Structure 1
Amino acid sequence: MNKVLLLLICLVTCAGLHAQVVTYETAKKKAQKSFDEAQMAVREYKLEDAVSLLQDAIKTEPGFTDAYGQMVITSVEMRKYKEAINSFEVLVRLDSASTRPAMLAYCKALSGVGRFKEALELVNAYIATNKVKSAKAEALKVNLDFAVNMAQQAVPFQPHNMGDSINTKDPEYFPSLTIDNKTLIFTRRVNGRNEDFYVSEKDDSSRWGPAVSIGQPVNSSSFNEGAQNISQDGKMLVFTGCDFPGGRGSCDIYYTLKTQEGLWIEPINMGAPINSRDWESQPCLSPDKQTLYFAKETPDAGSDIFMSQLQPNGKWGVPERLGPNINTKGRETTPFIHADNQTLYFASNGLQGYGGMDIFYSRRQADGSWGPATNLGYPINTIDEEASLVVASDGKTAYYASDRADSRGELDIYSFELYPAARPLKTLYVRGFVHDAKNINRRLIANIELTDVATGFNIANIKSDEYGNYLVTLPVGKDYAFNVNKKGFLFYSDNFSLKNAGDQDSSYEKNIPLQTIDSAAVLVLHNIFFDSKQYVLKPQSFPELDRVVALMKDNPMMTTEVGGHTDDVGSDYDNMQLSERRAKAVVQYMVSKGIEEWRLQPKGYGETMPVAPNTTEAGRAENRRTEFKILCFTY
């Protein structure tokens, strides 16, 4: 016989009876009346009232087994698992034969407190002795099999309530952060009715200030605004609006933009093809704002996660379902793409989990597809519904909503440290504005490209906004080539070496001056690479040189000098020779790409023209450079 059942029988024989067993048929009319009213309250989802009525029934008839059984089931519905377990244990002491109707609820209660192995043993015994196949028991068994296998690998999880600045008696949920971790926006259901957005800012001591309403025109008193996501630069907010005037379906996706004065504009429906007659919700922007992820109602599954990419004409493309590693025949919701643009978190009840909706993560593969989804594990995921997880740019601080025991009322927002295996890449950023080098007040809309130096893979390709502002994310662990270009100007070149960034926390503020194309203009090429004391171009140099080639092909009357420069390590003669050979290597590459040799003049300067002191490695690195100088230019 199953050892758990033996334990239950032992409880009966060892504990003795403390009250006479009473069923519904033998109970007093007063107890029957309380029980009947409790059943009606359950059907009307008035669970607190049901518990109170069941307590009245038990007070009238202390041995009322039907009341204890219903108490187990109702307590589980309320996710009060310890109370359910206590009620079941009383039921066992009263009459072990009457436990079967409440057995599956008891198993769920055991699961709710992490006692998966005991719950699985009981479910297996229940199935083995059941005359009719129970779909509910079979589904619970699947979840418990998974939980038992995973429970031995329980993950670290210590959530902290974000406190009174953020949380109130009203439910707060859907947290969203900017990349600098200084702005938190979330949804609050005010007085249990109207959903609005609230914002909290970090003060100088890194504490979250009191949350305030984001205000009109985004918040309204007539409609619910929810499931929002703020862009990494804090300039764009995407959100869900249901039953808005002019909406295309029950729920549509809207956006609003922040002006230079810090005000949000009137929300705009994202229109077709994003929105349709179906339910679209829970949008999330990629860090470069070029891809929109969202949940969409589907006829063949409850909901799936879709993506749409911004087209060159400024319109959003036709949404596409994410692949089979993400979407299932079940429901997938609450997508969140991290600032690293490589790690996706989402919720699903179609992937193997503990029960209900669990949170998963997937990594982007080299070919752009999404890898296998990984369950975040217990106790982050439980038998209940988990969703809407976001992770800060540091890659380890996570935020989610829960109604834990220390909540201020209902759902509160919590933070916790995400365990290492589930972390995205820590992500820094570079931000600033693009301007005319001759007039800092003339801001420019320019193309900005970020490239992985090692692979040549394009990480980001965006435009600065109408005020010249831009923000580009920089996941640590790689070296990046950074280029800014605009027709009629020399492109700007920079390099961010983050392969060995370690615990580096600083990001970059960099305003980009673009030089007009004219004689004597000098372009420093920061992404031309040679091995130490060598003059053979490394392949990582080719993307940058290809940009120079394109520039010269666009301007066929341009002639240039390619200048090589070194630091002061080594002899003057050796450095001069090395710089000349490197300049010639650059010229040879450009000639191989179709540029006439007469338009290119190689020249070595050795260590004679430093731009930084040679007393530090950083200074010497600046001095080791290739310059592109325009000698003659006519249109």
Structure 2
Amino acid sequence: MMRQFIFIVCFFIFAAAGHAQFTSTSKKAVSRLQSAQAAYRAKKYKDAITQAQEALKADAAFVEPYLLMAAVYAETGNIERAVDMYKQGFLVNADFFPNAFFDCAMYEMRLGRYAEARDHFNQLIASAKGSEKLKQQAAMRLPWCDFAAYAIAHPVPYTLISLGDSVNSRFPDYWPSLSADKNTFIITRRLPVDSYTPYGSSNFQEDFYISSLKPDKTWTSARSAGFPLNTPDNEGAPTITADGKKLYFTGCNRNDGKGMCDIYLSVKAEAGWSKPRNIGAPVNTAHSEKQPSASADGNMLFFSSNRPGTYGGLDLWVTRKDAMGKWTEPKNLGPVINTTGDDCAPFFHPDGKTLYFSSEGHIGMGAFDLFVTRMDSSGKWEKPENLGYPINTTEHEEGIFIDCEGKRAYIAVTNQKEKDVDIFSFDLYDKIRPVAVSYMKGRVYDAVTMEPLQAMFELTDLKEVKTVFASVADTKGEFLVTIPAERDYALSVEMRGYLFFSENFTMSGKATADEPFFKDVPLHKIQPGQKIILKNIFFATDSFNLKAESKAELQKIVGLLNDNPFISAEISGHTDNAGSDEYNLRLSENRARSVVEYLVSAGIVSTRLIAKGYGELQPIAPNETPEGRAQNRRTELKIINR
């Protein structure tokens, strides 16, 4: 039973036991009320209403029957009638049980009647007999009434578009999650267990269904994920990693569970999805861990839990993988995000800093609202912002998903008239958008044998020299790396025994993401004569001073040489054809020497390194275009012996 009923129900039980005075002296009215109380406790709600009405016929000034009928209507979902009963009871005797003002006001908030709710909260606060604890809660709810009234008067842009019959069904569909390339769109569908038992609270199970976006921007027909992902147990609240290869989800009351709800993992291989496994301690405990959201590279996992250390009911937590790929002890996201209420349903965007979640503890429309917060460069969370009305309503909003581009959201919406739940999309207004994210997708393979390689790839923020994405190619050598806009990045692809691959992405000043990048990456084994272009070594124009943004690439070279202590390398500088031959030769030599000097300062023995300048003598592209000249201005590393 909901918390709002506690005081009323306790009162009725107390009165029924003969320990309280009724407000009526009519024996017939009291007898009918006692019959109504007995019917209520037996959950015979129709009889309870009938007997309460008979009590009022015997004594129209009897307040208790109104409060009992309010409790019955509230418990059976007829909130509007419950409020009517409260109000009629208040007209008869407003001072009899002032705690009922709180319940009435909460239901009025559910109905969007915020001015009336404010009045009833204030009546409770002003009463002499009301519960002091409830008065404090009522005072805390007054700003909610003000916020909601303002939000309704100032709606945010919001146009829902149904995903149509290809995704939605005649059964409830919810909890969407989408891979970066939109090839895997996974939802939860609530299905009847059999066709014989009436479809209700017990005759259902949750399974996963999968769709994908077609070239014409329509969705394929959602199909069951099948065994072993779907089982006779419930599977729900999925999150798929950006590459579409790993699926985390919630499983409750399972034989291998550690608590009521646990987080499970399934991995996609050539044969399909693997048998889900419980990810175990330290993430899962004897309590509930659920509603996971994985970072784009799969190295962070956000989830909700009521484990010890919460600020209220459910809190948001995060766990990170260590160097061995094991989940570390989860950390609470702290009081900026978590409240004394329930905070749940996290979604961490691939931009690596924007978190959306649902909360009943932050000021909102009255139930669970959607919020957004962002992590700053120091790792601290900003104050959460309500997404606004009509994204948030008097109903329960949770389970939002935002695409990589940061423009479109997906959410399940309940059709109150038809009592159905379907998935819709809508465009986010600018203020609540995350940073736009593009991605690079391809395959890593041996340049000679063409065999796929399970190479490591890492995206580094050049300004902060900070890894923002790190993962490993799958058994087919396939990979996908997300690339947030507004920053410049170095991408390196590495595997022991091979020269690393270097790529640069200049995204500074771009508020939107480019079209995806598709690139296959051949890796060359470390042997004399093999060379790589160091695309993340930077110099100012006409200068041989290394820019700070070069540090990430320089450290990769240090790592390569330390891991292979028996090789020597030539660092060569190259220019375009602007300027004289003599000038270009001298500039290229000085630039190569600057790189060598850095490597020596980092501990590499100088006898293993040669600095060589070639000027404009070895172009790799025509010098007739700006793009060609940019390619020719480069630094290379070549293995000279092993």
Structure 1 residue identity aligned to 2:590: R
Cα distance in 1 for residues equivalent to 2:328 and 2:373: 23
2:506 to 497, 501, 507: 497
- Rounded to whole Å, the distance in 2 between the matches of 1:357 and 1:155 is 18
Give the superposition deviation at 1:497. 1.0
Structure 1 CA distance for aligned equivalents of residues 42 and 397 of structure 2? 25
Residue equivalent to 2:488: 479
What is the distance in 2 between the residues matched to 1:25 and 1:488? 94
Do the aligned partners of 1:73 and 1:105 also contact (CA within 8 Å) in 2?
no
Aligned to 1:287: 296
Equivalents in 2 of 1:426, 1:50: separation in Å?
58
**Mean CA deviation greater in 36-45 or 547-556:** 36-45
What residue number does 1:259 align with? 269
Evaluate the alpha carbon distance shift between residue 367 and residue 588 of structure 1 in structure 2; reply closer, same or farther with a 3 A threshold. Answer: same
Match of 1:612 among 608, 613, 621: 621
Q: Report what 1:5 is aligned to.
A: none
Deviation larger for 373-382 or 506-515: 373-382
**Aligned twin of 1:319:** 330
Determine helix, strand or coil for the equivalent of 1:403: strand
Which residue does the alignment assign to 1:20? none
The answer for unaligned runs of 5 or more in structure 2 is 1-22, 193-199
1:14 aligned partner: none
Partner of 1:3: none
How far apart, in 1, do the equivalents of 2:493 and 2:568 lie? 22
CA distance, structure 1, for counterparts of residue 607 and residue 134 of structure 2? 80
C-alpha deviations, 1:18-55, integer Å up to 9, x for none?
xxxxx9999x99xx99x9999888767798x7999899
Residue 629 (structure 1) aligned with residue 629 (structure 2): no
Q: Is the CA contact (8 Å cut-off) linking 2:589 and 2:611 kept in structure 1?
A: yes
1:135–1:608 distance in 2 versus 1, CA, 3 Å? same
For 1:226-305, what aligned pairs fall within 5 Å after superposition?
A: 226-261=236-271, 263-299=272-308, 301=310, 302-305=313-316
Contact 1:76 1:84 in 2 (8 A): yes
Shift of the 182–39 alpha-carbon distance from structure 1 to 2, 3 Å rule, reads farther
Alignment counterpart, residue 509 of structure 1, candidates 502, 511, 518: 518
In structure 2, relative to structure 1, the CA distance for the partners of 1:572 and 1:521 (3 Å cut) is same
**Contact 1:217/1:265 (8 A) holds in 2:** yes
Q: How does 1:410-429 map to 2 (within 5 A)?
A: 410-429=420-439
Q: Which residue of 2 aligns with 1:210?
A: 221
Matched, 1:447 2:445: no
Given the superposition, is the C-alpha separation of residues 361 and 565 from structure 1 closer, same or farther in structure 2, using an over 3 Å criterion? same
> Equivalent residue for 1:123?
121
Moved more, 331-340 or 310-319: 310-319
1:583 matched to 2:581? The reply is no
Matches of 1:38 and 1:617, distance apart in 2 = 87
Aligned to 1:184: 185
Q: Deviations over 1:78-114 (max 9, x none)?
A: 777777778889x69xx95468887556544553454
Separation (CA, whole Å) in 2 of partners of 1:413 and 1:137: 39
1:253 partner amino acid: I
Q: Partner amino acid for 1:359? A: L
Aligned match of 1:159: 160
The aligned residue for residue 436 of structure 1 is 446
Aligned AA (1:459): V
Q: State the distance in 2 between where 1:189 and 1:358 align.
A: 23
Q: 1:173 deviation in Å?
A: 1.9
Q: Which amino acid aligns with 2:516?
A: S
Separation in structure 1 between the aligned mates of residue 352 and residue 564 of structure 2, nearest angstrom: 36
Matches within 5 A, 1:551-570: 551-570=560-579
Are the equivalent residues in 2 in contact too, given 1:483–1:494 (CA < 8 A)? Answer: yes
Indicate yes or no: 2:599 matched with 1:601.
Answer: no
CA distance 1:106–1:307, change in 2 (3 Å): closer
When the two chains are superposed, the root-mean-square deviation of aligned CA atoms in Å is: 3.7
In the alignment, what sits opposite 1:7? none
Taking a change above 3 Å as real, the CA distance of residues 409 and 382 of structure 1, as seen in their structure-2 partners, is: closer
Segment of structure 1 superposing worse, 231-240 or 368-377: 368-377
Q: Aligned partners of 1:56 and 1:403: how far apart in 2?
A: 34
Contact 1:563 1:605 in 2 (8 A): yes
Distance 2:377 2:148 in 1: 28
Aligned CA distance change for structure 1 residues 133 and 323 (closer, same or farther; 3 Å)? closer
8 Å CA contact 2:374, 2:382 repeated in 1: yes
Shift of 1:162: 3.0
In the alignment, which of 98, 109, 112 is matched to residue 111 of structure 1?
A: 109
Q: Which residue of 1 aligns with 2:208?
A: 197
1:56/1:118 CA distance change after superposition, 3 Å: closer
For these two proteins, the number of residue pairs brought into alignment is 599
Asked if residue 148 in structure 1 is aligned to residue 156 in structure 2, the reply is no
Q: 1:78 to 1:513 in 2, by over 3 A?
A: farther
CA contact (8 A) 1:38 1:51 kept: yes
Q: Is the 8 A contact 1:120 1:141 kept in 2?
A: no
Q: 2:469 aligns with which of 450, 460, 468?
A: 460
Aligned-residue offset at 1:73: 6.6
- SS of 2:341's equivalent in the other structure is coil
- Residue 493 of structure 1 deviates from its aligned partner by 0.9
Instruction: Please say if residues 567 and 610 of structure 1, whose CA atoms lie closer than 8 Å, have aligned partners that are also in contact.
Output: yes
Shift of 1:482: 0.7
Aligned to 1:6: none
| Matched residue type, 2:188 | T
| TM-score of the pair, normalised by structure 1 | 0.83
Distance 1:180 1:303 in 2: 32
Q: Cα gap change, 1:552/1:626 in structure 2, threshold over 3 Å: closer, same or farther? A: same
Separation of aligned partners in 2, 1:396 and 1:83: 41
Moved more, 538-547 or 179-188: 179-188
Change (3 A) 1:576 1:347: same
TM-score w.r.t. length of structure 2: 0.82
Deviation at 1:188, TM superposition (A): 1.4
Instruction: Give the residue type in structure 1 aligned to 2:532.
Output: L
